Structure 1
Amino acid sequence: MVLVGSILFAFYSLAIAVAWAMFGQNNTILAIAILGSVVLVGFQYKVGKWAALRSVGAEDMPEQQYAQIHQFVEGVSRDMGMEKPRLMIANMGVPNAFAVGRRGNGTVVVSRELIQILDREELNGVLAHELAHIDNRDVVMMVLGQGIASVVGIIAQYVVLFTGDNDLADFFLAIVVGNLVQFFVMLFVLAISRYREYVADSDAKGVIGRGDPLARALEKIQQGNQRSQNDRLDENVSALCIFGSSKGVLAKLVSTHPPVEERIRRLRS
């Protein structure tokens, strides 16, 4: 994570260095660029969490009705040395789960469909996976990466505008260049996301003692998603979920999750 953070900081530093070279004589513009980037990341974090929970209609998970889930999460959180995350439940239309927030202020959302199809050991594997994401600060890192990608893209647009004739052609060129630069940085961020899924799987395997329960859960989740005729899952929420399907080279390149088959193979190896 230190390496990941260093590389993301390098992207950000490069963007600010370019901004300094372009606007260094105007400290006001540079200050606005730096302050705006910080505000943008904070805004994405706060609004993203709220939007994710709202989009699936998440509700607090009753402790009396789901006592075993609460007890398991409390025990694992204690072993991880972090505060127990808020547990919520939702009708997603598909069997799935996702985590948002950070250590000390995390939330785990589980779909009712997931609880219905998994046995206790399999569900514990999924819960351990989501708790690992919070413990490893993966959600915060993803938001930070997306924010840096946006900042780099915006600065690239301004560089094109201020180095050209500032006419209509430069305006459209700036949009194209900004999107391409942002896409390049996001490829790196998405690669981080896929790697962190393997790490969360490995951590969950360590929590429950073996990988087969989580592997079975992934198989059931994959089958449940394929059978679903009412996939109401928001695209942004889908990126947070434990399951993500991708076919084709380009789809895998821009996916937040690695192939399920490879995750299952690693869990059972």
Structure 2
Amino acid sequence: MSGMKTVMLLSALTALFMALGYTLGGGGGAVIALLVAAGMNLLTFWNADRIVLSMHHAREVDARSAPEFYSLVADLARRADLPMPRVYLIDEPHPNAFATGRDPKHAAVAATTGLLSMLSRDEVAGVMAHELGHVRNRDTLIMTMVATIAGAISMLANFGLFFRGGNHDNGHGNVAATLLAVIVAPFAAMIVQMAISRTREYGADRAGAEISGNPRALASALAKISGRAEAIPNPVAERNPAAAQLYIVPVHVSELFSTHPATEKRITALEEMAGGPSLPRRASALSPPAQFPAVQPPAATRARRSSALDPLRRD
């Protein structure tokens, strides 16, 4: 049902884009708009991960530069039956994480140092399992397509507002209709974009709970970082509001216009999974079976750090 809803909403977004093109330029405008959207989607299909990671100044890490964090992601990827994604860290106090890439074979996951320093090891596992849930569900490609089409609608609407606003004699409708289209279309696109994103977030929460085997840890992580994510500045989201849909929790927005479901509702759903019979009974990713040994930091390191994961090795 979730997949069908996403297809229907994507179709609605594409139809909205073509309708706006038709309003501004008739049949030819609709065709041109569709070709532009196809070109943008092709570009983002091959380069979305590099664009997003560069935007956040993310640095790739491995088993030598961030052994605990990298090992944790590797364990979770094996449990999810996914290829090992590329792993990135973002040196920002803002607590958040995201996944990107066109498919599981070309996926990347990233987390901020602020998130790693704020959460326990179990909670970090829950967050990264959520991001791997996005990868397994192929949400990263879907959300890239949605952001591209929604951005194209906004761009086309702005173009139409300036290009057609002073034209009182056109063959495709009056000025009032044109102005209505360029005002309503971006708002409608935003609503569709939010609907798709919210649907995928619930799916990733469930997938993350199944992968980690510990839905309460993910619920605890959401509770900890949601308030801080709104309070601590996020320069990337401030420059590029469309980036907000990438993160595990929203930033600086009201629930009405958020690309994410209310955090309280997500926590409630995770608590129900933890107590209900529908979630497969699995060991936590941090208390894994023998074939998935957890990597523990040295005792001295554990004693001097509040977080179980600290890639910066701060004293």
In which range does the TM-score fall when normalised by the shorter chain? 0.7 to 0.9
Equivalent position SS for 2:246: coil
Shift of 1:6: 3.5
Change (3 A) 1:46 1:85: same
Identity level (%): 27
Establish whether residue 97 from structure 1 lines up as the match of residue 120 from structure 2: no
* Cα distance in structure 2, aligned partners of 1:129 and 1:61: 20
Partner of 1:123: 124
* Cα distance in structure 2, aligned partners of 1:18 and 1:258: 28
TM-score (norm 2): 0.69
Q: Is the 8 A contact 1:215 1:267 kept in 2?
A: yes
Equivalent position SS for 2:57: coil
2:267 alignment partner AA: I
Partner of 1:225: 229
State which drifts further: 85-94 or 1-10: 1-10
Equivalent position SS for 2:108: strand
Partner of 1:190: 194
* Cα distance in structure 1, aligned partners of 2:175 and 2:83: 48
* Cα distance in structure 2, aligned partners of 1:54 and 1:172: 41
Instruction: Give the RMSD, CA atoms, in angstroms.
Output: 3.5
Shift of 1:35: 2.1
1:266 alignment partner AA: A
Partner of 1:238: 244
Shift of 1:67: 2.3
Establish whether residue 178 from structure 1 lines up as the match of residue 182 from structure 2: yes
1:23-102 correspondence to structure 2 within 5 Å: 23=26, 31-44=31-44, 49-102=49-102
Greater helix share, structure number: 1
1:146-225 correspondence to structure 2 within 5 Å: 146-150=147-151, 154=156, 157=160, 165-166=169-170, 174=178, 176-225=180-229
Partner of 1:113: 114
* Cα distance in structure 2, aligned partners of 1:231 and 1:148: 24
Q: Is the 8 A contact 2:13 2:192 kept in 1?
A: no
State which drifts further: 11-20 or 238-247: 11-20
2:268 alignment partner AA: R
* Cα distance in structure 1, aligned partners of 2:20 and 2:177: 18
What whole-Å deviation, never above 9, does each CA across 1:14-47 have from its counterpart, x for those lacking one? 75488689755x6xx6654432220122345566
Partner of 1:133: 134
What whole-Å deviation, never above 9, does each CA across 1:143-181 have from its counterpart, x for those lacking one? 2223334556648959x95x96149xx678635522311
Change (3 A) 1:215 1:150: closer
Provide the aligned length of Structure 1 versus Structure 2: 259
Partner of 1:4: 6
* Cα distance in structure 2, aligned partners of 1:11 and 1:232: 28
Q: Is the 8 A contact 1:245 1:257 kept in 2?
A: no
Q: Is the 8 A contact 2:244 2:251 kept in 1?
A: no
* Cα distance in structure 2, aligned partners of 1:226 and 1:150: 24
Q: Is the 8 A contact 1:194 1:258 kept in 2?
A: yes
Shift of 1:214: 0.8
Task: Mark the runs of 5 or more structure 2 residues left unpaired by the alignment.
Answer: 273-315
2:211 alignment partner AA: V
What whole-Å deviation, never above 9, does each CA across 1:40-74 have from its counterpart, x for those lacking one? 22345566544432333210124224323323323
* Cα distance in structure 1, aligned partners of 2:33 and 2:68: 49
Equivalent position SS for 2:194: helix
Change (3 A) 1:45 1:256: farther
Equivalent position SS for 1:253: coil
Task: Mark the runs of 5 or more structure 1 residues left unpaired by the alignment.
Answer: none
* Cα distance in structure 2, aligned partners of 1:15 and 1:112: 38
